[in-house]
């Protein structure tokens, strides 16, 4: 399969930083470690991972699950891009904000060479994993299916999912937890 991205494998609770690394690499921008990206995005982890990610935040498990906390303004992707002088803009696109067909919108973004991350509930979509949020980069749309790039080392790097199932898992994760599309553009 020809792909625009090089798949990166994430450290524990670092699926968001790994997807950001893939986008930075594709755009030929300076790479940072997953832990550094994660810390800028509010990475919070359970006690048993303190040794693996010593700079991550400690505390109670957020409603969205362990990992980054982009839903808080101080940990937003736009703040991260600005801090590191990346010429990128993040735009959250909740599912109920669309007047147009979702598949047509997604195809249009990919045709414009924009990057799209999907945020969803992994257990709802695949029936495995924890009940928190997960993200993947969208590679392309193929009819009623979407090809995603997975960062988890336990699963195939390229995963084809039915678009309607993906939408349901984004709804289930909820707008409060940024379930939906994350558009990264120039």
With the CA atoms of 67, 163, 94 and 107 taken in that order, what torsion angle do they form, in degrees rounded to the nearest 10? 110
Interior/surface letters 82-115, b for 16+ CB within 10 angstroms, e for the rest: eeeebebebebbbeeeeeeebbebbeebbeeebb
Q: How many CB atoms lie within 10 A of CB 173?
A: 27
Identify the structural domains of the chain with CATH numbers, from first to last: 15-185 (3.90.70.10)
pLDDT by residue for the chain (186 residues), tens only, comes to 688 999 999 999 999 999 999 999 999 999 999 999 999 999 999 999 999 999 999 999 987 789 999 988 999 999 999 999 999 999 999 998 887 799 999 999 999 999 999 999 999 998 887 777 899 999 999 999 999 999 999 999 999 999 999 999 999 999 998 999 999 999
- Report pLDDT for 1: 66
Distance CA 78, CA 12 (A): 23
- Report pLDDT for 62: 85
Write down the pTM of the prediction.
Answer: 0.94
- Report pLDDT for 128: 80
- Report pLDDT for 130: 73
DSSP secondary structure of 156-183: -SEEEEEHHHHHHHHHHH-GGGT-EEEE
């Amino acid at each position: 399969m020809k792909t625009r991205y090089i798949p990166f494998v994430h450290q524990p609770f670092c699926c968001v930083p790994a997807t950001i690394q893939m986008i930075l690499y594709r755009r030929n921008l300076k790479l940072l470690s997953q832990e550094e990206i994660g810390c800028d995005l509010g990475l919070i982890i359970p006690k048993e991972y303190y040794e693996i990610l010593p700079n991550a935040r400690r505390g109670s498990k957020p409603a969205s699950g362990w990992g980054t906390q982009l839903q808080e303004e101080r940990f937003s992707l736009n703040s991260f891009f600005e801090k590191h002088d990346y010429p990128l803009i993040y735009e959250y696109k909740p599912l109920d904000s669309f007047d147009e067909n979702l598949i047509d919108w997604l195809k249009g973004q990919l045709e414009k060479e924009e990057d799209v991350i999907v945020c969803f509930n992994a257990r709802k979509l695949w029936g495995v994993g924890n009940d928190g949020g997960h993200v993947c980069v969208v590679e392309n749309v193929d009819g009623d299916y979407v090809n995603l790039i997975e960062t988890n080392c336990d699963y195939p790097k390229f995963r084809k999912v039915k678009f309607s199932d993906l939408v349901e898992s984004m709804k289930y994760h909820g707008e409060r937890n940024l379930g939906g599309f994350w558009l990264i553009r120039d």
